[in-house]
Amino acid sequence: MKKKLLATVLTFAMVASVLTGCSNAKTENKNTSDSGATPTAASESKEDLSGTLTFTIWDNNLNTFIEENDMVAKFQKQYPNIDIEVEKIKDDSEYWNAMKMRASANQLPDIMFNKPFTLSRFKDYLVDLSGTEASANNELANGYAVNGKVLGIPMTAGYEYVYYWKDMFKEAGATVPKTWTEFEEVTKKLQDYYGSKDKDFMALACGLKDEWPDYPFMEFMPALESGNGQNWNTMAAQDNPFAEGTDINKAYHKIYDLFTSGVLGKDPLGLGNDQVTSLFAAKKASMIALGDWGLQNIKSGAEDVSQLGTFYLPTRNSESDPYNVIVQGDSFMGVTTHSKHQEAAIAFVEWFYSDAWYPDYINYVSSASSMTNFPKDKDPILAESDTLCPDKKLIMYDGGGDNFSAIQNETTFDYKKLGAQMLTNDFNLESTLKDLDDRWKAAREKLQIK
């Protein structure tokens, strides 16, 4: 009898707690839907905002900084009723796979990051942040607006560099190149000089086993060649963008000639980015092309960086041509439409880009600041490239819009894989570009893109 009584009491307790939970959820949802649409509704006191936010990231440096500086506790000093769950995903490739699956299951995190090339893909799932203070203070956010909506606030401004060892250059009698021809000559000179002593030497380290490390060449050089950051979008409006004389055709011929000249070492397809970065740090390679984020990895692997220098990849044909340099917004922090606490999520974005958090973070990483209210001096190693190139012309890179993405998927055009394929035995650049042109035209027809 006692057991039955206990069971009955427990059952009532369970049902009551479930019903209470449901009613709370309803109230909470109602609150967020009422107020979440307007990001400027900051008049509400910070204590009124509540909920648990999922913040999904892939960046190792950001993850380390969050853990070391107890981001959640700092945030909760201002917003005591909002909890943050930081979810770290292995790398950005896995990140996009996970986000795609979650998007289809209506389970995107409250706060997610995007790259320039994923903004248009997730545009239907991102809240407009154009009314936020963070957006107003960000120098790149408006440049990446989709249909007038700021869907993400870039965390950093990304620049691309060629890292090199000055002492190795000096010993081989090489100087910092200013044109593409000079760059080719310098790489050959270094390969001949050091390669004769060490068969494993690489004048230019590029871990093509991973394919993506060729992005400074395969992804950015068409835009650098044309001086048009919207190059992919321009191509999406053409039937034969790979034909002879086009910017991408010229750029890929330059890359092909460089990659197949032996300056990448004896087997670049057999090495990944981690391996070549370590080899570069150990001076088994004289140059490596990476973003500003690469500096931390090089520093952690090198014994001494006093001889480490940088210059911008010179893709121009002559010194009279403009010295084009890529700049892009990176890691666009956005709030998703799947978030049940959109206002709290927007409050987090505002806090992240405020002086309570952002200045310390941006000084921790090697990347440049994207916020006008928190300018950051470049690391002296990275600043050297600006000294060497005072006349640079910044090209704001766009990762490609809807039309480009649709054609790219239809034609299976993978520029990073193409760079690695250039080093395979039976690769023929002319026939590959011709084939791409044919597929491009057919895809435009099929997708009815004008």
Partner 1 sequence: MTKLNKKRKWFIAISLVVPMLLLVGFVVIPAFDLFRMSFTNWDGYSKNSDFIGISNYISMLHNKDLWLSLGNNAVYFFVHLLMIPIELMFAVLLNSRLRAAKFYKTMVFLPYIINGVAISYAFSYFFSPINGAFDSVLELLHLGNLSRDWLSDNRIVNYVLSSVSVWRFSGYHVVLFMAALQSIPKDIEEAAMVDGARAWHLFKYIQIPAIMLMVDFVLFDNIRGALQVFDIPFVMTSGGPGYASSTFTLYTIKTAFSFSNFGLASTMAMAIMIMIVAIYFTQNTIIHGLILRDRRK
Identified binder of partner 1 from the candidate list 305, 423, 429, 449, rule CB under 8 A? 423
Rounded CA separation 205/280 (Å): 7
Contact by Cβ (8 Å): 281, 302: yes
Closest contact distance (angstroms) between CB of 54 and partner 1 is 18
Identified binder of partner 1 from the candidate list 131, 173, 270, 375, rule CB under 8 A? 270
Q: Is 101 in the site for partner 1 (CB under 8 A)?
A: yes
Specify the residue, 209 or 378, whose C-beta has the smaller distance to partner 1.
Answer: 209
Identified binder of partner 1 from the candidate list 26, 77, 90, 266, rule CB under 8 A? 266
Q: Would you state the structure tokens that stand for residue 166, as one six-digit string?
A: 């000055």
> Considering only residues 117-156, where is the footprint of partner 1 by CB under 8 A?
121-122, 124-125
Q: Is 408 in the site for partner 1 (CB under 8 A)?
A: yes
Q: Is 449 in the site for partner 1 (CB under 8 A)?
A: no
Contact by Cβ (8 Å): 279, 205: yes
Specify the residue, 151 or 344, whose C-beta has the smaller distance to partner 1.
Answer: 151
Q: Is 337 in the site for partner 1 (CB under 8 A)?
A: no
Specify the residue, 125 or 180, whose C-beta has the smaller distance to partner 1.
Answer: 125
Rounded CA separation 69/83 (Å): 16
Rounded CA separation 39/2 (Å): 55
Closest contact distance (angstroms) between CB of 69 and partner 1 is 31
Contact by Cβ (8 Å): 258, 266: no
Contact by Cβ (8 Å): 318, 387: no
Rounded CA separation 290/273 (Å): 10
Q: Which 3 state secondary structure label does DSSP give 114?
A: strand
Specify the residue, 29 or 405, whose C-beta has the smaller distance to partner 1.
Answer: 405
Identified binder of partner 1 from the candidate list 40, 43, 45, 425, rule CB under 8 A? 425
Closest contact distance (angstroms) between CB of 335 and partner 1 is 17
Point out which span in 42-50, 179-187, 297-305, 425-433 binds partner 1 (CB under 8 A): 425-433
x/- map, 210-229, partner 1, by CB under 8 A: xx------------------
Point out which span in 1-9, 28-36, 67-75, 99-107 binds partner 1 (CB under 8 A): 99-107
- Looking only at the bridges linking them, the beta strands covering 323-335 and 153-165 are antiparallel
CA dist list (Å): 316 to 126, 180, 227: 38, 6, 10
Point out which span in 3-11, 146-154, 245-253, 401-409 binds partner 1 (CB under 8 A): 401-409
Q: Given CA atoms 68, 71, 72, 77 in this order, what sign does their dihedral have?
A: positive
Closest contact distance (angstroms) between CB of 420 and partner 1 is 5
Specify the residue, 347 or 422, whose C-beta has the smaller distance to partner 1.
Answer: 422
> Considering only residues 277-316, where is the footprint of partner 1 by CB under 8 A?
279, 284
Instruction: Please report where in the chains the tokens 């890292």 appear, as a residue.
Output: 163
Q: How many CB atoms lie within 10 A of CB 385?
A: 23
- Looking only at the bridges linking them, the beta strands covering 392-396 and 323-335 are parallel
How far out from the chain centre does Cα 110 lie?
20
Q: Quick one: which of 72, 73, 39 has its CA closest to 55?
A: 72
Q: Is 104 in the site for partner 1 (CB under 8 A)?
A: yes
> Which residues contact residue 410 at a Cβ distance below 8 angstroms, ignoring those fewer than 6 apart?
439, 443, 446, 447
Specify the residue, 120 or 135, whose C-beta has the smaller distance to partner 1.
Answer: 120
Point out which span in 28-36, 134-142, 264-272, 317-325 binds partner 1 (CB under 8 A): 264-272
Specify the residue, 130 or 405, whose C-beta has the smaller distance to partner 1.
Answer: 405
Q: Would you state the structure tokens that stand for residue 65, as one six-digit string?
A: 């900084």
The DSSP call for residue 326 is E
Residues that bind partner 1 (CB under 8 A): 96-97, 99-101, 103-104, 121-122, 124-125, 200, 208-211, 266-272, 275, 279, 284, 405, 408-409, 412, 414, 417, 420-421, 423-427
